[in-house]
Amino acid sequence: MTAQRWLLLFGVWLLYGSFGLIATSLAPVASLVIHDLAMSHSEMGLAMGAWQLIYIAAAVPAGVFLDKIGARKALTTGGLLIGFSAIARAFAIDAQTLVIAVMLFGLGGPIVSAGAPKVVMANFKGTDRGLAMGIYMTGPAIGSVISLTLTNSLLLPLVDYSWRNVLMIWGIFAVCAAGVWFVLASKNQATKQIQNTGQPQVRVIKSLLNKPTILIVLGISVCVFLFNHALNNWLPEILKSHGMDATEAGYWAAIPTIIGIAGSLLIPRLATPERRFHILIGLAAAALLASLMLRAEVGNLLMIGLLLQGLAKSSLMTVLILTLVELPEIGERYAGIASGIFFSAAEVGGVLGPLLLGVLYSPNTGFSSGLWLLTCVALAMTVGTFILLRLKVTQPN
């Protein structure tokens, strides 16, 4: 069982890696797609973000679907939808068909997002559970790094600069990842189990949303995604506003991702129940300090800010999901539905973050207003984690 559960985790990691790979697959070939499909930049922007709106609407049904048919079949379906999205993009003939193809990703993505913590919850205990969550959370980061770095440097030259062939390759990889998961999960009974709550799913959702601890976790999740997605999209431009050129800004912007991957492997393992809320407070405080230090000019203070951002970026979501699924109100029984609710709420912040930083940008003051917004968001995170700690102390059960 010990070896089998780690193989199972590898299958989840492959699926989540495919998620990151295909979520960012259009960015490196955007100019080629715009030219080939005669699209405007605004149409390309719509296409890139189309999956997020579908994701928000589909996340809760995805959690219900997961509990209805079990993790093995559900995650296979999610992985196939992600792969088919990339393949469908390769056959796009105009902006509209490209948007529809990207929307398909928004159906598969939340199944994988909600299913991964459920699989970990069923197969790992104690510190291994935190480590397992940290490991699979490196998947999207590594997938996106591979997509962003290898597309132009390696794949495009190999396929005669055909963006369609590149997307086809990524899509086939995701389909294969779904197949690997299906095979690995075939010998694990926990992935086949169907959760029967004994009551209608709508009633379950309403019951969960009446719990103060769950509402606070959801509120923090919106803040975490807003903070992370805002900086994921705008950090290079923020750094360029400090006088860096594009290449230098790119190198500096990679620092949080590198630190984040390392942090994902270390911090969640330390987040055992007795110290989890204190770690959450520390991570939220790191995000708060990072938002202040990102105003600094190029130098040690800015570097420290990027390091702190990397720590917060990597582990806040992982530890928060771990907190959610291990709440007494949730447990393995409601892990699928709860994870779906979590990602549905969180992705609202994911959409708002880049949008608000763009809206608040001013030619005169740069990103100052946007960074103050992120400071307020990080402060709200910190306050929320203190409230969670207080509830944990006063209502341990």
Residue 170 sits in a domain whose CATH number is 1.20.1250.20
Task: Report how far residue 87's alpha carbon sits from residue 328's, in angstroms, rounded to the nearest whole number.
Answer: 41
Q: Do 184 and 216 belong together in one domain?
A: no
Of 174, 194, 214, which residue sits at a domain end? 194
Task: Report how far residue 197's alpha carbon sits from residue 336's, in angstroms, rounded to the nearest whole number.
Answer: 11
Q: Do 370 and 390 belong together in one domain?
A: yes
Q: Do 83 and 116 belong together in one domain?
A: yes
Task: Report how far residue 86's alpha carbon sits from residue 167's, in angstroms, rounded to the nearest whole number.
Answer: 6
What DSSP string describes 193-251? -----SS-HHHHHHHHHT-HHHHHHHHHHHHHHHHHHHHHHHHHHHHHTTT--HHHHHH
The answer to whether 113 and 65 are in contact (CB under 8 A) is no
The answer to whether 305 and 293 are in contact (CB under 8 A) is yes
Total domain count for the chain? 2
Containing structural domain, residue 380: 197-397
Q: Do 247 and 391 belong together in one domain?
A: yes
The pLDDT of residue 64 is 85
pLDDT digits (tens, 9 = 90+) for 274-304: 888 889 999 999 999 999 999 888 788 999 9
Percent of all residues in the chain with a pLDDT value above 70, rounded to a whole number: 94
Q: Do 233 and 373 belong together in one domain?
A: yes
Mean pLDDT of the chain: 86
Q: Do 224 and 187 belong together in one domain?
A: no
Q: Do 63 and 168 belong together in one domain?
A: yes
Q: Do 6 and 145 belong together in one domain?
A: yes
Task: Report how far residue 360's alpha carbon sits from residue 137's, in angstroms, rounded to the nearest whole number.
Answer: 30
5 vs 79, 115, 191, 270, CA distance in Å? 19, 15, 11, 20
Structure tokens at 134: 């940290």
Nearest to 115 by CA among 14, 206, 228: 14
The counts of H helices and E strands in the chain are 15, 0
What DSSP string describes 74-114? HHHHHHHHHHHHHHHHHT--SHHHHHHHHHHHHHHHHHHHH
Percent of all residues in the chain with a pLDDT value above 90, rounded to a whole number: 38
Q: Do 244 and 387 belong together in one domain?
A: yes
pLDDT digits (tens, 9 = 90+) for 124-173: 887 788 889 889 888 988 888 888 778 888 899 999 999 999 999 999 99
User: How far is residue 284 CA from its own chain's centroid?
Assistant: 17
Q: Do 70 and 217 belong together in one domain?
A: no
Q: Do 129 and 249 belong together in one domain?
A: no
Q: Do 190 and 202 belong together in one domain?
A: no
The pLDDT of residue 397 is 46
- Highest averaged pLDDT of the listed ranges 66-80, 84-98, 189-203, 360-374: 84-98
Of 171, 194, 217, which residue sits at a domain end? 194
The pLDDT of residue 301 is 92
Residue position matching structure tokens 């969180």: 346
Of 168, 194, 220, which residue sits at a domain end? 194
Bridge partners (DSSP) of residue 362 are 366
